[in-house]
Structure 1
Amino acid sequence: MMSEYLVNIEHERLSFFTPAGEVKALNDVSFHIKQGEVLGIVGESGSGKSVTAYSLMGLTAYPGKLLGGTLDFNGHRINDMTEKEFRKMRGNEVSIIFQDPMTSLNPVYTIGNQIREVIKLHTDKSRKEVQERAVELLELVGINEPKKRLKQYPHELSGGMRQRVMIAIALACEPKLLIADEPTTALDVTIQAQILELMMSLKEKLGMAIMMITHDLGVVASMCDHIAVMYAGNIVEYGTTDDIFYNPKHEYTKGLIRSIPRMDSKEHERLVPIEGTPVDMLNPPKGCPFASRCDACMQICLREKAPVTHFGDVHYTSCWMNQKAELEGGSAK
C-alpha cells in the first residue's frame, strides 16, 4: 500500500563514531513531507539539518552510522537499500542543491559536460536529445545564451549563475523531491530572492516537494508549508509556518525569532542574540539540550528531556515551559 507521504522519517537515530567518542548527530528525529509540499528545516550550524537530508539519500559519510528508526521515501525503505539502488535513485527521484556551487561543480569540465552526464546516466535519450535537454534546462532556470554557457567552465560564471546551473542539474530528471541545502548562503540578497522565486515557480511547474535546509528564518517565511526547528540533533518544535512565526512554543524558537530584524518596529530596537555556545555533541546533557542557554530554564530542564506537547493536528514541541501549569498543580492545557 502506498503511503500518503512522499517522505516519512520515524524516530531516526544517527551517530558518528570518532576517535574521541560517539557524536550523537540525530536523536529520535521524526517528520514527513507530502507530494508538492515545502518543509523548512531550521537551526544553527551543527544542529543536524544536513545530516538528516544526506541520510535520506544514503550519503552518510564514514564514520556515520544509522542506529535506529525507519526512513521511507517514495516507496523505498532507505534502511534496506544497497549502494547500487541509491545510485539509481539519486538524481532521478531525489536531487540535492549543495551550499557552495563552486565546490560542487567540477572546475575541469564545462557546464554542458556536467549537465549532460546526469541526463545520460538516468535516461536513454540520444546524443541530440541530451543536448536539447541541457539547453532547455538552462532556459528553465533563467540563464541567457544557454548554448554559449554550455561551453563555459564554472569559473567563467557568476555566483548566481553557478547556483542556477546547480538547480538545472538537480532538475535534469524532474525529481519528486528537491533538497536545497542552504542554497542562497553565498549570494547577495537580490540574487537570493531570484533563486527562491525560481525554486517556487519550478515547484509549481513540476509538482515536486522541497526540503529547504537553512539557518535563516526569513528564507522559510515565504516558502514553506511546515517548519521543523532543530537543535542539537533534536526537532524541538514542528508546525505550520504560521504556528512557528505567530505562536512559537519552544524557548529556542522564540530566541530565533527575537534575533530577526523587524521591518514593522516603530523604534530602533536592539536585536536579542541567543547567549552561550552550542551543545558538545560528544557529551550531550541529560535534560533539554537547550537548557544551558535558556533564560526560562528550570531544575527539571537540567534533569529530564521534556515530553512532547501538542497544540493542534501538526503543531508540537518538547519544552518543559508548556508543562509548567501541570507541574504547579494546574491544568495541562
Structure 2
Amino acid sequence: MSEYLVDIQNERLSFFTPAGEVKSLNDVSLKVAEGEVLGIVGESGSGKSVTAYSLMGLTAYPGKLIGGDLYFNGHHINEMKEREMRKMRGNEVSIIFQDPMTSLNPVFTIGNQIMEAILLHTDKDRKQAHDRAKELLQLVGINEPEKRLKQYPHELSGGMRQRVMIAMALACEPKLLIADEPTTALDVTIQAQILELMTDLKKKLGMAIILITHDLGVVAGMCDRIAVMYAGKVVETGTTDDIFYHPSHEYTKGLLLSVPNLNDTEHKKLVPIEGQPIDMLNPPAGCPFAPRCNSCMKICLRKMPEYTDLGNGHQSACWLLDKAKFESEVQTNGK
C-alpha cells in the first residue's frame, strides 16, 4: 500500500483507433499526498485529462490501460471492478468538468442533481439530502440556496453553474477533488472567485486537489507542486517555486517565456514555442520535445533521458542537465 493518497506508477495508456495506436500516456508517474494541491500543466493533447480520468476509471473507448499501476486511497485501481469504481466515484474522489453547462442535466433541477449524489453514496433520506444540498450551495457562496435548488441549469450564470458543479463534487466530502480546467469558460473576475473558493474549501475540508490547466497563472497562486506534461510524458515536476523560478526543462522554460511577467521592469517580447506537437501515432524514439527544442542534441532524437534529481523532489527529464553535469565534472577534474 502506498504512503501517498494518489500514486501513479509508470502508467501507459493507448487509444486503439482505425488509424493505429495513439500512445496517449507513455510511462507517466505522479504522486499526491493528503491535503496537497498538484497542478498538471501542458498544452492541449499532452495527456493531462486522460491521466486524471484514468484514476477514476473513466477512460473513454477505445482507450485502454496497457501498463503501470494506479493506487488511490488504498485501492489498486487496475484490479477494481466497475461496481467498486462506482462506489468510489463521488464518495472518495470527485471531479469538476471543464464546461458546467454540458456537465449538468438540462431537464433536472439543481436540487435533484445534487441530491442524487447524496442519496446514492450516503444513508440520508430525501429530507436530509435536501438540507445537505442547501448547505452545500451556501458553502460554495450561492445566494438564495432554497430558490436555486428549484431552478434549472439554464437559469443560472456560468459562474453559478460552476459553483453548483463544485457543490456536487463536495457532496460526500471526498479525499480528492479533480478540477479539469474549472475556469476555462469563465471571465477573469469569476475565475478569481472560483479559485479563491476552491482554496478556502481545501483548507476547510482538508482534501487534496489535482488541478488540470494550461494556464500557468492559475497554478501559480494555488498549487503546492506542479507536474509539466508534454506528449504523454511528465517532463518536469517540482514545487511551484522550483517550476517558476528554477525551470530546468526546455519545454517548461518555453511555457514561461510565452506568458507575460508583470514583475519585468523592462518591456520584453513574448517568445512563442515554434513548431507543432508531435504525431502521437508515431512518437519519436527520444525526447518528444526534441523536434521543437532550440537546444536539441543528437542524443535527444535517439533516446529518452532519465529523470535528473535536482533536490527537494524537483525532477526533470532533459539531456542538457546531463551535459551540464558532465561539463562541470570535467572542469572540476581538470583543475
Sort the TM-score into its range (normalised by shorter chain). Answer: over 0.9
Q: CA deviation at 1:245?
A: 0.5
Partner letter of residue 312 of structure 1? G
Greater than 6 Å deviation, 4+ residue runs: none
CA contact (8 A) 2:47 2:232 kept: yes
Partner letter of residue 151 of structure 1? K
TM-score normalised to structure 2 length: 0.97
Tell me, in whole angstroms, the C-alpha distance in 2 between the residues paired with 1:327 and 1:291: 20
Tell me, in whole angstroms, the C-alpha distance in 1 between the residues paired with 2:137 and 2:14: 39
Tell me, in whole angstroms, the C-alpha distance in 1 between the residues paired with 2:287 and 2:226: 20
| Residue in 2 that maps onto 1:278 | 277
| Residue in 2 that maps onto 1:9 | 8
CA contact (8 A) 1:110 1:154 kept: yes
| Residue in 2 that maps onto 1:187 | 186
* Aligned ranges 1:146-295 → 2 under 5 Å: 146-295=145-294
CA contact (8 A) 1:118 1:172 kept: yes
Q: What are the superposed Cα offsets for residues 154-203 of structure 1, whole Å, 9 maximum, x if unpaired?
A: 11100000000000000000000000000000111110010000001000
What SS class does the counterpart of residue 115 from structure 1 fall into? helix
CA contact (8 A) 1:323 1:332 kept: no
Partner letter of residue 269 of structure 2? R
Q: CA deviation at 1:299?
A: 1.2
Q: CA deviation at 1:332?
A: 10
Tell me, in whole angstroms, the C-alpha distance in 1 between the residues paired with 2:125 and 2:112: 15
CA contact (8 A) 1:326 1:332 kept: no
Partner letter of residue 218 of structure 1? G
Tell me, in whole angstroms, the C-alpha distance in 2 between the residues paired with 1:331 and 1:53: 43
| Residue in 1 that maps onto 2:318 | 319
TM-score normalised to structure 1 length: 0.97
* Range moving further from structure 2, 323-332 or 110-119: 323-332
Tell me, in whole angstroms, the C-alpha distance in 2 between the residues paired with 1:329 and 1:137: 57
| Residue in 2 that maps onto 1:72 | 71
Q: CA deviation at 1:17?
A: 0.5
* Root-mean-square deviation (Å): 1.3
Q: Where do 5+ consecutive residues of structure 2 fail to align? A: none
Q: CA deviation at 1:4?
A: 2.1
Partner letter of residue 316 of structure 2? T
CA contact (8 A) 2:92 2:174 kept: yes
Tell me, in whole angstroms, the C-alpha distance in 2 between the residues paired with 1:244 and 1:267: 22
Tell me, in whole angstroms, the C-alpha distance in 2 between the residues paired with 1:257 and 1:101: 29
Tell me, in whole angstroms, the C-alpha distance in 2 between the residues paired with 1:145 and 1:329: 64
Partner letter of residue 99 of structure 2? D
Q: CA deviation at 1:298?
A: 1.0
CA contact (8 A) 2:2 2:71 kept: no
Partner letter of residue 104 of structure 1? S
Partner letter of residue 192 of structure 2? A
Tell me, in whole angstroms, the C-alpha distance in 2 between the residues paired with 1:293 and 1:185: 26
Tell me, in whole angstroms, the C-alpha distance in 2 between the residues paired with 1:267 and 1:31: 37
Q: CA deviation at 1:300?
A: 1.1
| Residue in 1 that maps onto 2:137 | 138
| Residue in 2 that maps onto 1:89 | 88
Q: CA deviation at 1:266?
A: 2.2
CA contact (8 A) 1:325 1:331 kept: no
Tell me, in whole angstroms, the C-alpha distance in 2 between the residues paired with 1:4 and 1:320: 31
| Residue in 1 that maps onto 2:25 | 26
Tell me, in whole angstroms, the C-alpha distance in 1 between the residues paired with 2:34 and 2:325: 38
* Aligned ranges 1:46-125 → 2 under 5 Å: 46-125=45-124
Partner letter of residue 72 of structure 2? F
| Residue in 2 that maps onto 1:300 | 299
Partner letter of residue 280 of structure 1? D
Partner letter of residue 65 of structure 1? K
Residues 332, 313 of structure 1: alpha-carbon distance in 2 compared, 3 angstrom cutoff? farther
Q: CA deviation at 1:249?
A: 0.3
Partner letter of residue 76 of structure 1? H
Q: What are the superposed Cα offsets for residues 122-177 of structure 1, whole Å, 9 maximum, x if unpaired?
A: 01112211110010000000000001001111111000000000000000000000
Tell me, in whole angstroms, the C-alpha distance in 1 between the residues paired with 2:330 and 2:67: 35
CA contact (8 A) 1:325 1:332 kept: no
Q: CA deviation at 1:327?
A: 5.4
Percent identical across equivalent pairs? 76
Tell me, in whole angstroms, the C-alpha distance in 2 between the residues paired with 1:325 and 1:123: 56
Partner letter of residue 3 of structure 1? S
Q: CA deviation at 1:308?
A: 1.3
What SS class does the counterpart of residue 227 from structure 1 fall into? strand
CA contact (8 A) 1:250 1:319 kept: yes
Tell me, in whole angstroms, the C-alpha distance in 1 between the residues paired with 2:67 and 2:186: 37
